[in-house]
């Protein structure tokens, strides 16, 4: 587990999975069918419980130019800059259970923001799992 500072907000467009976790692959497939494949575009998974405790998962892609989200008729979310706790998983497709274990570890930390979300940042065949630290740990 490491500390990580995200230096800037990242605006993303997303598709909400029909259910969690089984609907995640379909959500990414649909997102990928809509979003142009541009080198350098970052992809994320964003999840948090709703008021009833049900996990809502958003398959997300970085917006690369103003208005792209609206042109594609997708919803948007802003990943906030600041302090995060992170866990890096190599070759995640062969270690899917490690993602759940990483978030259990991160969410169990005293510093975890109780109003935060779980963030998966897909980096090639790897994934960086992130949970925001509490507001008192945010820089500036």
Report pLDDT digits (tens) over 62-104. 999 999 999 999 999 999 999 999 999 999 999 999 999 999 9
> CA 17 to CA 48: how far, in whole Å?
12
What mean pLDDT comes out for the span 51-72? 96
| 95-139 per-position pLDDT tens digit | 999 999 999 999 999 999 988 999 999 999 999 999 999 765 544
Report in angstroms the alpha-carbon separations of 7 from 14, 75, 117: 21, 23, 17
Q: How many domains does the chain have?
A: 1
| pTM, to two decimals | 0.92
Q: So what's the pLDDT on residue 10?
A: 97
Please give the residue range of the domain that contains residue 30: 2-137
Q: Tokens 């949970």 appear where?
A: 131
CATH code of 91's domain:
3.20.80.10
Which residues have C-beta within 8 Å of that of residue 50, sequence separation ≥ 6? 56
State residue 108 phi and psi, 5-degree precision: -80, -5
Q: So what's the pLDDT on residue 136?
A: 53
Could you tell me which residues are beta bridge partners of residue 121? Answer: 44, 128
Report the Cα–Cα distance between both ends of the chain, in Å, rounded. 23
Residue 47 has pLDDT above 80, yes or no: yes
pLDDT band at 34 (very low <50, low <70, confident <90, very high): very high
What mean pLDDT comes out for the span 3-11? 95
Beta strands in 63-133 (DSSP E): 75-79, 82-89, 118-123, 126-132
Q: So what's the pLDDT on residue 140?
A: 44
């Amino acid at each position: 587990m490491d500390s990580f500072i995200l230096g800037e907000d990242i605006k993303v467009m997303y598709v909400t999975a029909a259910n969690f976790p089984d609907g995640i692959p379909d959500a990414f497939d649909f997102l990928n069918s809509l979003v142009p494949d541009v080198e350098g575009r970052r992809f994320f998974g964003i999840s948090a419980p709703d008021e009833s405790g049900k996990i809502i998962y958003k398959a997300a892609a970085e917006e690369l130019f103003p208005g792209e989200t609206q042109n594609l008729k997708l919803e948007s979310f802003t990943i906030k800059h600041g302090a995060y706790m992170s866990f890096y998983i190599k070759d995640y497709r062969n270690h899917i259970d490690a993602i759940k274990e990483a978030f259990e570890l991160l969410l169990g930390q005293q510093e975890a923001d109780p109003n935060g979300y779980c963030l998966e940042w897909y980096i090639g065949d790897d994934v960086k799992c992130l949970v925001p630290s509490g507001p008192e740990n945010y820089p500036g």
